[in-house]
Chain A
Amino acid sequence: MPPAAGSQNDTEFDNSRHHADTRYSGAPGIAPRWRVLLAEDDPANRAVLRNHLEKSGIAVVTAENGREAVSLIARTNVDLVLLDINMPEMDGLAAARAVRAMDARKAALPLIAVTSDVNDAALAAMRAAGINGCLEKPVRRKALILTIMEALSARPAAE
């Protein structure tokens, strides 16, 4: 699904944009847009989150489980990873541990959990696995984008 044509004029995020770098504006001739890896096994949630990201001018790479996500991270450059926690083959916690064991650049990637199970034990497990933040489903587009912007504002773009 291509980014929405009007995403660069999205007034909903005008105030937030002051905290973003130029990649968020999507201005022509400027450095690459942010690229996010979305690891989510459910097709409906994957489609919704992908829509949220692309509508906001963020490029998306998708994975259907943790193993596929880890493989993609090893082979491609992304700026941030959104991780569902409960996934088949390899869950989000194991995927996070695998990323943190990669080379220094990959190991420093911001990892944000997107999950329907948020409680003290789950949050402690996420922290122990090296996950930086957590969004609870259902995820509103504004909350998603603000979380990403906060995590990425100070980082160089993936090449």
Chain B
Amino acid sequence: MPPETPAIDPATLAELAADTGPSVIPGLVKIFMETAYARISRMASAIAAGNGPAVAAEAHALKSSAATFGASEVRHLCAELELTCKTSLAAEASANLDRLRLAVDAAGKELSAFLREQ
């Protein structure tokens, strides 16, 4: 069984916090989480509409911000959704979106814990 991707890469998050500062990072995390759930909602709508490229576009954007916040599993799942839905809706898109939602939940918990420890 392959090793699990961590919800949050602590090194990337620590670098982001060092670059932005402790007073700024909570606001940035809030924007990231709100945007992530909004993108998941739009991906669900696109899947219901059978629109693969729209899923891929949202997945790409979330992959990009997940990289910034060290959300490794979110990044990995978004890359998969982007790749498989680029030209047409993949059969496994709905199941992958469920996994992505759980990964965003997990990332949110770890980010909250990080902020509490700041």
Contact residues of A with B, CB < 8 Å? 4, 41-45, 47-48, 51-52, 55, 84, 86, 88, 115-116, 137-142
Residue from the list B19, B28, B67, B70 in contact with A47, Cβ < 8 A = B28
Chain A, Cβ-Cβ closest to B69: A44
Interface residues of B, count at CB 8 A: 23
Residue from the list A43, A115, A140 in contact with B19, Cβ < 8 A = A140
Pair A45/B20 contact, Cβ less than 8 Å = no
The smallest C-beta distance from B104 to any residue of chain A, in angstroms, reads 12
**For window 42-77 of chain B, which residues contact chain A by CB distance below 8 Å?**
57, 60-65, 67-70
Given contacts A45-B65, A48-B68, 16 further A-B contacts (CB under 8 A): A41-B61, A42-B61, A44-B28, A44-B31, A44-B65, A44-B69, A51-B19, A52-B20, A86-B57, A88-B57, A116-B63, A116-B64, A137-B67, A137-B68, A138-B68, A140-B15
What are 21 A-B pairs with beta-carbon distances under 8 A? Answer: A42-B35, A42-B64, A43-B31, A43-B35, A44-B32, A44-B65, A45-B64, A48-B28, A51-B19, A51-B20, A51-B24, A52-B20, A84-B64, A86-B61, A116-B63, A116-B64, A137-B64, A138-B16, A138-B70, A139-B68, A142-B19
The smallest C-beta distance from B83 to any residue of chain A, in angstroms, reads 11
The smallest C-beta distance from B46 to any residue of chain A, in angstroms, reads 13
Pair A55/B61 contact, Cβ less than 8 Å = no
The smallest C-beta distance from A3 to any residue of chain B, in angstroms, reads 12
Contact residues of B with A, CB < 8 Å? 12, 15-16, 19-21, 24, 27-28, 31-32, 35, 57, 60-65, 67-70
